[in-house]
Amino acid sequence: MSHDTATLDATSASASAPEAAKPRKVFVKTYGCQMNVYDSDRMTDALSKDGYEATETLEEADLVLLNTCHIREKAAEKVYSELGRLRDMKKARAKDGREMVIGITGCVAQAEGAEILRRAPAVDLVIGPQTYHRLPDAVKRAKRGERVIETDYAIEDKFEHLPAPEKARTRLRGVTAFLTVQEGCDKFCTFCVVPYTRGSEVSRPVAQIVSEAEKLVDGGVREITLLGQNVNAWHGTGPDGTEWGLGDLLARLSEIEGLARLRYTTSHPRDMDDSLIEAHRNLPKLMPYLHLPVQSGSDRILKAMNRRHTAAEYIALIERIRAVQPDIAISGDFIVGFPGETDDDFEDTLRVIEAVGYAQAFSFKYSIRPGTPGAEMDGHIAENVKAERLEKLQALLFRQQNAFAEACVGKEIDLLLEKPGRMPGQLVGRSPWLQPVNVDANGCEIGDIIKVRITGTGRNSLFAEAIGWRADLKGA
């Protein structure tokens, strides 16, 4: 799921004032997952201490950061393509006596490391996901002419060194926020590069998470989504000295006054413990939505993927979750055409989809992730076969998504208003099940939670009419 925050097709512009008279600007382009979105915000927070202000206009930037994702095949080549355009801009800037520092961060930085500096002379610094707290110092070193690389797995806790989110910047970012609570992965699925780019599973301490959440809420955030490569693998020591799981952490965060909603993503089926399942029944602030990837419905392929669960175990888990929260929407991920997948294996996947009934899902043709065991396996599937299977699978998922949306029509729900809509007087929010909902909400403000009735469906959104607002949930 892409989260590119800006494009790089701008050309350089002449300075309209002396460089020294301008505040320093940083432009960040974010690729990939929600965790990269969170990381980009935190990097901007860290740089603000040195006087950098975020900009969405590339030609204003003194510092350009590409926060990269390595989850797809040829991800690195896309970065090098972007760097070609930035190289030309940097040369044009130099002719005008203006400086531009270029940095690569994220998972491609971790995976490619010194190769980036070798192939792209315009790059001044390379920073891996575990060393963002060193970014301000790296920028200073780069401005002195050093080509900097920081891609080790830092022993020190980067979250201890990153500055807390400030109220002013939080307000500019909106009423919803991501909060990383867990990083890395110990599962080693054979298709996945994450253990090699993000390292082993690490959980942030309870007090650190609660403090950051309180600062976000103080800055106007109404909904927080907890993030992790395996977010439900989070664990820590609670204030009472006992070992906490994610369900306990969600319960503590739900006590924060002013926080209206909680979500979490992405989960692994093997880490859905009883406490977390019960949280979906016991915590009103925890939204009835769960992204729980299965990847395949074939036990043979699941074993080859090193998922360490069976299709039957996955279906039984969904049934347990729905027993405590019947209203929950289930989302998932699917990979078609994994090496060795037969027609029968693919049909097994369709049977799992039929059995579960998904409200949303993401599905992909298998593509090689360099350095993973899957890349070395025999039995790679022809592209035309993968394309045919993906089309059939997506048609089934689309029917299920439409059926879920149609079942929402007529329901009355609480809607958190997040941003302006396309039409005058229209605002857009997310339903408890994460669907975009468009509503004419004159007199209401972003951050309000209003009562609406769902009146219709679009291809990827719902439409609603306002029928009241929650006095207890009025935005700040």
Residue-range domain boundaries for the chain: 19-150, 173-183+199-286, 288-408, 412-473
Phi-psi region of 258 (alpha: psi -120 to 50; beta: other; left: phi over 0): left
pLDDT given at position 419: 93
pLDDT given at position 369: 84
Tell me the C-alpha to C-alpha distance, in Å, between residue 293 and each of 56, 154, 184, 303, 331. 33, 29, 17, 15, 7
Assigned token pair, 286: 């925890």
* Nearest partner of 195 among 207, 205, 204, 187, judged by Cα: 187
pLDDT given at position 77: 77
Q: Which CATH number is 412-473 given?
A: 2.40.50.140
Q: Is the CB of residue 66 less than 8 Å from the CB of residue 39?
A: no
pLDDT given at position 115: 87
**Stated length of the chain:** 476
Assigned token pair, 143: 């401005």
pLDDT given at position 161: 66
pLDDT given at position 20: 43
CATH 3.30.70.20 fits 288-408, yes or no: no
pLDDT given at position 319: 98
| Beta-carbon-side half-sphere exposure of residue 470 (alpha carbons within 13 Å) | 18
The per-residue DSSP string of 354-366 comes to HHH--SEEEEEE-
* Nearest partner of 163 among 109, 208, 225, 102, judged by Cα: 208
The fold adopted by the segment(s) 173-183+199-286 is pyruvate-formate lyase- activating enzyme (3.80.30)
Q: What sign results for the dihedral spanned by CA atoms 180, 185, 186, 187?
A: positive
pLDDT given at position 162: 67
Question: pTM of the full predicted structure?
Answer: 0.83
pLDDT given at position 152: 81
Q: What is the pLDDT along the chain (476 residues), one digit of tens a residue?
A: 334 443 344 333 333 444 444 679 999 998 877 888 888 888 998 898 888 999 999 988 999 999 988 766 566 778 888 898 899 999 988 888 889 999 999 888 888 888 889 899 999 999 988 888 889 999 999 999 999 998 887 655 767 766 666 665 556 678 999 999 999 899 999 999 888 888 889 999 999 999 999 999 999 999 999 999 999 999 999 998 999 999 999 999 999 999 999 999 999 999 999 999 999 999 999 999 999 999 999 999 999 999 999 999 999 999 999 999 999 999 999 999 999 999 999 999 999 999 999 999 999 999 988 789 999 999 999 999 999 999 999 999 999 999 999 999 999 999 999 999 988 889 999 999 999 999 998 788 899 999 999 999 998 899 999 997 654 455 54
The fold adopted by the segment(s) 19-150 is Rossmann fold (3.40.50)
Are 19-150 and 288-408 the same fold in CATH?
no
